[in-house]
Amino acid sequence: MSYKNNRTLSPELIKKYNRRIWKVLIAGIVFFAIFIVMISFGVFGEIPSFRAIEHPKSNEATEVISEEGKVLGTYFVKNRSNVNYTEISPNVVNALIATEDIRYRSHSGIDFRRTFTIFLYAIIGKKQGGSTITQQLALNLFSEEGRAKNFAKRIIQKFQEWVIAIKLERNYTKEEIITMYLNTVDFGNNAFGIKSAARVYFNTTPDKLTVPQAAVLIGLQKGITRYSPTKNPERALDRRNTVMALMVKEGYITKDEFAGEKEKPLNLNFNAATTNDGIAPYFRAVLKSEVKKLLEERSINKADGTPYDLDRDGLKIYTTINYDMQVYAEEAQKEYMKVLQQQFSNSWKGRNPFKGMDALIDQGIKRSDRYKALKLEGKSDDEIKQDFNTPSKLTIFTWKGNIDTLMKPIDSVKYYKLLLRNAMMAMDPKTGDIKAWVGGINYEHFKYDQVKVGTRQVGSTAKPFTYAVAIENGYSPCLTVPNEPVTISNPGSPDWTPRNSGTPLPGSITLQKALAYSQNYIAAYLMKQVGPTAVVNEIKKMGITSDVPAVPSICLGTFDSSIYDMVGAYGVFANKGAWTKPNYIVKIEDKNGVVLYESKPIIKVAMNEEVAYVMTRMLRGVISGGTGSRLSYKYKITTPIGGKTGTTQNNSDGWFMAISPDLVAGVWTGCEDRAFHFTSTSYGEGANSALPIFAGFMKRVYANPALKISKNDFEPPANGVSIVYDCNQYQQQEQGTSELDKKLGF
């Protein structure tokens, strides 16, 4: 007999198993709830409060902004700048959602459907990211170390992300969350946030990013090194196309649009995010130090009483610098200095410029970073000397770019001693707003600013100061004076008799012609008439802050001054006798747009308006038929511009000062040490070493009508000019006076 053994569970046993299952489930839910509560209370690591979520701790770059609103550069630990949602192109938002979180607009911070699929993908051996944009933001804001590598820690971190993500979703709109995400994410190449990334990779702003550009940047989020458009352009191109394909899938772009874009190259316009690169690096360095000083002196601090940190606190510094003019000034310098350096090098061929210069070379060695580093290592003087005489791999600056070479460090010191330096500043004389500032030839190699920090002997650019005092004392530009040596007694010192540079113009000449051709004898004659004290007083009223001794030789420019002060002084001639302090800061805001500081113009009357106008006539004569005439005959700039060239002893310094109704500019050229100089005046004079850079700058400025730089002449005083500056009229008056004297028997 056979039988089948049917074993069934009794109802009591089923109930028993069900109760156990429910207990396990309830216990699991309770345990999970307690676990989440413990995470919320920071048991497994600090969870930020809502206040912290409102004010996340993130280093934010301070922006230096031009007068048109363009970013000149940033000060940063992390190059991060924030934008609002309205300032972000929809292309970026669409690319991000299509790539990272397609249900972003419908979930509440955690996409449980996506989380579940992670396990399914894991079973078949595929990897898929499970974090929503909100969770990624939580990680970016509150985990400085990023994703934990330890599995257990990563599990804890994931649940922490959930808690923070829910807090974010409850308190912010979707637009605010996606904006915060794009402001905090790392795009590589020291670009943190979409604003920095747009500038670094494409030299644009986030609102102008095209579909392909947005796809490149969003594609970077899969791996900022692997898909870097600068380091791995081919991978970056493939990744860009993948992102655009996902945008097609989600309906953000059409198939035709994708087909038209996918074959195009990356078209980067890369601008490295460093303080050395970008435009106006010398200006930005001086500005940083000035802003720190200004905030400290005025006790402008954060709400907690601590001082602002320009590298971390995301200030916005609005400046007077015009972006285009700054670019033009830098281009003009680079264009001509290549030519001038070649002239300089050729002039020394077959000669030894270092003869008797041992002390200067030794000084150059001791100023070098290499010497300081060796000293810190405890090297003896003999060891350092041996190091400087041993060939080493060095990177040196040339006008063709940096060159890696094998060279004795002492030879690099000599090389740099014979490298010409150059600086320039341009300013609106009416407002004092500085429009362009070029402090040196290459900030990476030579960080010393020659616009405001450095001073050099000004040479003949000082002569107009003496002439202005003479005009103020009743001398006419048409007065004829014998062009012959003059001796001036100098109390407490030997009598002073200056030499003329070059061959003096013969006979008697007018003051106008004497200034035009920079005749030393006539400048000395006027100094003898008005005295050095009056000239010093005038120079100081015109804003020169460096030491100017009350000695006769200052009429020939034997004192030192900065370009910054000299441009401000020449602005007096162009601005109807009023000195306006050169200014480069408009205002400073904190990261929330609160104004911390706003500048106000400082204006003082320095000379009579008639005198200033007559000086513009005389300075125009320098350009129309004097030492600055190559501005018109060679460089074809025939607009009403006045100017003055300057050349110091031994052709060590070349200057050119220029005035127009809307712009005043100053250019200086010379070596680091005055002992190194041009061998001939034809090359070393300001007309050759400085004027051409101004010419290159102004040609570019005039070619840009958007700058609205007038080509009109200087306006005469409203009440007319009593000083006779028309020499034909002056001669007629003199002739009439002479005939009257004869009739009266004088």
Q: How confident is the model at residue 500 (pLDDT cuts 50, 70, 90)?
A: confident
Q: List strand residue ranges (DSSP E) for 539-652, in order.
A: 560-561, 578-580, 585-589, 595-598, 603-605, 642-647
- DSSP of 321-390, one letter per residue? --HHHHHHHHHHHHHHHHHHHHHHHHHTTTS-TTTT-HHHHHHHHHHSHHHHHHHHTT--HHHHHHHHTS
Percentage of the chain modeled with pLDDT above 70: 86
Beta bridge partners of 392: 407
Average pLDDT across the chain, whole number: 87
Is 159's pLDDT higher than 70? no
What pLDDT score was predicted for residue 131? 80
pLDDT tens digits for range 610-641: 999 999 999 999 999 999 999 999 999 999 99
What pLDDT score was predicted for residue 111? 65
Is 133's pLDDT higher than 90? no
Is 737's pLDDT higher than 70? no
What pairing do the DSSP bridges indicate for beta strands 316-319 and 62-65? parallel
pLDDT tens digits for range 254-307: 999 999 999 999 999 987 776 666 799 999 999 999 999 999 999 999 998 999
Q: How confident is the model at residue 28 (pLDDT cuts 50, 70, 90)?
A: low
Is 48's pLDDT higher than 90? no
What pLDDT score was predicted for residue 113? 65
Between 554 and 133, name the one with better pLDDT: 554
pLDDT tens digits for range 544-576: 999 999 999 999 999 999 999 999 999 999 999
What pLDDT score was predicted for residue 671? 95
pLDDT tens digits for range 393-426: 999 999 988 999 999 999 999 999 999 999 999 9
Q: How confident is the model at residue 139 (pLDDT cuts 50, 70, 90)?
A: confident
What pLDDT score was predicted for residue 16? 73
Stretch 157-185: mean pLDDT: 81
pLDDT tens digits for range 592-606: 999 999 999 999 999
pTM value is: 0.79
Stretch 362-379: mean pLDDT: 91
What pLDDT score was predicted for residue 441? 96
What pLDDT score was predicted for residue 212? 97
d(CA 301, CA 148): 37
Is 538's pLDDT higher than 70? yes
What pLDDT score was predicted for residue 733? 65
Stretch 4-24: mean pLDDT: 70
Correct CATH for 423-586+601-727 of 3.40.50.2300, 3.20.20.80, 3.40.1440.60, 3.40.710.10: 3.40.710.10
Is 732's pLDDT higher than 60? yes
What pLDDT score was predicted for residue 712? 95
Is 153's pLDDT higher than 80? no
User: Percent helix, strand, coil in the chain (nearest 5)?
Assistant: 45, 15, 40
What pLDDT score was predicted for residue 171? 81
Is 434's pLDDT higher than 50? yes
What pLDDT score was predicted for residue 34? 61
d(CA 62, CA 74): 5
Is 130's pLDDT higher than 80? no
Between 104 and 31, name the one with better pLDDT: 104
| Encoded tokens for 4 | 């089948």
Longest dimension (CA), the chain: 173
Q: How confident is the model at residue 3 (pLDDT cuts 50, 70, 90)?
A: very low
d(CA 633, CA 620): 14
Between 43 and 623, name the one with better pLDDT: 623
Min mean pLDDT across 80-89, 107-116, 483-492 is at 107-116
User: Strands across the sheet with 664-670, in order?
Assistant: 434-438, 421-427, 664-670, 653-659, 642-647
Which stretch of DSSP H or E encloses residue 162? helix 151-171
pLDDT tens digits for range 56-70: 556 788 999 999 999
Percentage of the chain modeled with pLDDT above 90: 67
Closest CA relative to residue 463, chosen from 554, 573, 562, 559? 554
Distances (CA, A) of 81 to 183, 269, 343: 7, 19, 45
DSSP 430: T
What pLDDT score was predicted for residue 729? 77
Contact between residue 553 and residue 693 where contact means Cβ atoms under 8 Å apart: no
d(CA 590, CA 189): 26
Is 474's pLDDT higher than 60? yes
DSSP 301: B
Is 33's pLDDT higher than 80? no
Between 626 and 168, name the one with better pLDDT: 626
| Encoded tokens for 191 | 């670009």
Most confident range, picked from 16-30, 94-108, 527-541: 527-541
Between 398 and 726, name the one with better pLDDT: 398
Non-local (6+) Cβ contacts of 297 within 8 A are none
Q: Which CATH architecture has domain 80-272?
A: Orthogonal Bundle (1.10)
Contact between residue 50 and residue 40 where contact means Cβ atoms under 8 Å apart: no
Is 309's pLDDT higher than 80? yes
- 407-410 LR contacts (CB < 8 Å, sep 24+): 409/365, 409/368, 409/370, 410/361, 410/365
pLDDT tens digits for range 190-222: 888 899 899 899 989 999 999 999 999 999 998
Stretch 493-513: mean pLDDT: 90
